Structure 1
Amino acid sequence: MASIVPFVRPAAPPRPRPATPRRLYLSPPDLAGGEHAALAAVLESGWIAPAGPAPAAFEAAIAAATGLRHVVALASGTAALHLACRVLDLGPGDEVWTATLTYIATIAPAVQMGARPRFLDVSPESWTLDPDLLAGELAAAARRGRLPRAVIPVDLYGQCADLDRIRAACDRWGVPVLADSAEAMGALYRGRHAGIGARMAAFSFNGNKIVTAGGGGALASDDPAPIARARHLASQAREPAPHYQHETTGYSYALSSLLAAVGTAQLAVLPARVAARRAVFERYRAGLADLPGLAFMPEAGWGRATRWLTAVQIDPARFGADREAVRQRLDAAGIESRPVWKPMHLQPVFRDAPRAGGAVAAGLFERGLCLPSGSGMSVAEQERVIALVRECAIGACAR
């Protein structure tokens, strides 16, 4: 007799899990399309070290993009600022002034050379160094017989500082101006590129910048002399001789050919990158501007910002949540955002540093948040951010 096989109902197939949206970063690198070919050409050439045609081509591309005639490509934007301080012969006891609302790399090289930092407040209309405050502080310093050795204005989040007024204040007392334009490749000030008009300008090509080489930086000027000296120092200050000859010490700050090739490919699409970042900003404004208690970083009337990062101010009393609650809500949803720079005068390392003002910068830090701003961010991804911020405005993420 045939055996009876009991019927077993087949298990239901597992339900597919909903796709998890990829984490959305603040400012991820965005490939231009020509990087692979550029890297292959460098590898085939055999020029891997910081020498040969690739760094020279990158320097020429930077000069063409900015209008600054003399450029040296370097290992980082911080290296560029360090070499600028060295070219200016900063040393122990010198004072260096800068805007307090910035990243620490603006002032760290000068401090590491023994200089004493002094931090000045920013203007509400631009979030950059307040020229009126600077002029008054310089006049007071002249009366004390203690002028700074350099002033470093910062082009913040892709917006230029008011360089003409800063220069006018500094020129009256013979104080050189070094522009920290690390965040401002592609930004315009009165029709000219960021950094033009300063004694030197430093740029960054870090992985999160609007144009990236995966790292790297540059120091640029219309004066060939400081760039020639910086180039010499960047290659261990080796003198022209068949052996290794040194009359001073230098640094290993030259940029590799591989990174230079990536940077050159990226610079080819700089105008498109600026347009993309500005479009991201405009979509945020269209989606969030009606919310009470939320305001965007203003664009100063003297220039055209790149909107490298879209930064907003959140007034918790009117908005319904504070900046940190919004940041945490976004983070929980896999979206990176970041408070605006914590002012230098509030950093523990500079607790004893002198300053002038600081309330404007402190308020911007307390209320300020940078939203994801990558040039490759899709409209759908940006709509996720907008929807979550709007949720917070109705109390969904109140702390």
Structure 2
Amino acid sequence: MSANKIYLSSPHMSDEGYEMQYIKEAFSSNWIAPLGNNVNEFENDLAQYVNIGHAAALLSGTAAIHLALKAAGVGTGDIVFCPSLTFSATANPIIYQNAIPVFIDSDHDTWNMSPDALEQAFKKYTPKAVIVVHLYGLSASMDEISEICKKYNVPLIEDAAESLGTIYKGKHTGTFGDYGVFSFNGNKIITTSGGGMLVSNNEEMVKKVRFWATQSRDHARHYQHSELGYNYRMSNVLAGIGRGQLKVLAQRVEKKKHIFEFYKRELSQLEGVNMMPVNDWDKPNYWLSCITVTGEVRPLDIMVALEDENIESRPVWKPMHMQPYFEKYDFVGNGVSEMIYENGICLPSDTKITDEDLNRVVKIIRKLWRK
């Protein structure tokens, strides 16, 4: 355990100190909270980066999904289609709205929502909304999924928490649906320590989201509230970090791609090892480099071997329909998400990782195949 720790994906501030410039601006103006110029400019910068009309800076990606569901009219007893292979933050807001999740399987080609399973689910249910996820920075099959949602006239929400910077056929993920959601949690490709963003071309609904996120305070001299509100707005200080981080996003994507290509070159020849799928029409941000293993060496063997050498790794997300809290809800599919979970592992993908570190990771993994 004497070697330096290698992280899965940790915060990485800019070498140029962009973040501190904006934080100092917040301090010097005394706009620490709740809002301020950094919030406005972070919203503008992010919207411009992904080429969408409007954005609302919030406390988390989870809050953004919650308010996207609310904006889509989801309420008590409504059904919402959601990928099973995702983090629980995608599904939890459905419960916040007293709605009912129905979990949709993945496909092998993208690891994301299967259009075939989605179409099958529409034949069984009439949902109020569909949430699609771009897992690990890999874009879902958005042409097919968007077309299905349009056919049934159902709002589409994109959970792009893991895919800021990912391009699907020339267009940013998070901008195909009625609402898109990004996360700036500490492990994401850029971070504000905690935070999220809701984006949309629907200006009125983005204004409504900002209203709900600031406790639904009516325009009145006194404190008046005609609707249920939430304390979901991002602070001016955190937004300053985000403004600085956006300036280095392209560098982070390039480093993440380098990490993925390194693993692909060094591990793909091992029997039973397959990299996560990258399609010709997809330019991922490669947030985490993931592999699946079939054969005698199992994901846990790799994780334990890395852990013994002070190196972080992680299982692929456990599907929601297998989770104790969510297992009572319906699942539509044939077990692809379970297969990915059982055979998948997320390898160290920290943007501060060196090639020496990567060689160290690869050497440990290769050793398991020589036993």
TM-score (norm 1): 0.91
Alpha-carbon separation, structure 1, partners of 2:11 and 2:292: 25
CA contact (8 A) 1:100 1:358 kept: no
CA contact (8 A) 1:162 1:302 kept: no
Q: Aligned-pair distance for 1:358?
A: 4.5
Amino acid at match of 1:177: L
In structure 2, the partner of 1:88 is 72
Q: Aligned-pair distance for 1:300?
A: 2.4
Q: Aligned-pair distance for 1:228?
A: 1.1
- 5 Å-filtered alignment, 1:1-399, equals 20-32=2-14, 33-138=17-122, 140-141=123-124, 146-317=125-296, 321-395=297-371
Alpha-carbon separation, structure 1, partners of 2:176 and 2:60: 22
Larger Rg: 1 or 2?
A: 1
Alpha-carbon separation, structure 1, partners of 2:323 and 2:304: 22
Alpha-carbon separation, structure 2, partners of 1:301 and 1:128: 16
Q: Aligned-pair distance for 1:53?
A: 0.4
Structure with larger RCO (C-alpha < 8 A, sep 6+) = 2
Alpha-carbon separation, structure 1, partners of 2:181 and 2:357: 32
Alpha-carbon separation, structure 1, partners of 2:220 and 2:44: 27
In structure 2, the partner of 1:14 is none
CA contact (8 A) 1:323 1:368 kept: yes
TM-score (norm 2): 0.97
Amino acid at match of 1:66: V
Structure 2 residue ranges without an equivalent (≥5): none
SS at match of 1:349: coil
Amino acid at match of 1:387: K
Amino acid at match of 2:24: A
CA offsets 1:314-370 (integer angstroms, 9 cap, x no match): 1124xxx11101101101110000000000011011121111115110010001000
SS at match of 2:135: coil
CA contact (8 A) 1:273 1:375 kept: yes
CA offsets 1:17-70 (integer angstroms, 9 cap, x no match): xx9222111001111131222212211110000211010011011112111110
Alpha-carbon separation, structure 2, partners of 1:285 and 1:107: 32
Alpha-carbon separation, structure 1, partners of 2:21 and 2:203: 32
Amino acid at match of 2:84: T
Alpha-carbon separation, structure 1, partners of 2:185 and 2:121: 33
CA contact (8 A) 1:120 1:358 kept: no
CA offsets 1:251-285 (integer angstroms, 9 cap, x no match): 01000111100010000111111111001111111
* Percent of residue pairs bearing the same amino acid type: 37
Amino acid at match of 2:120: G
Q: Aligned-pair distance for 1:374?
A: 1.2
SS at match of 1:316: coil
CA contact (8 A) 1:181 1:203 kept: yes
Alpha-carbon separation, structure 2, partners of 1:229 and 1:377: 41
Amino acid at match of 1:85: L
Amino acid at match of 1:290: Q
Question: Cα RMSD over matched residues?
Answer: 1.1
SS at match of 2:136: coil
CA offsets 1:108-151 (integer angstroms, 9 cap, x no match): 0111221111111111000000112212321x13xxxx400011
SS at match of 2:31: coil
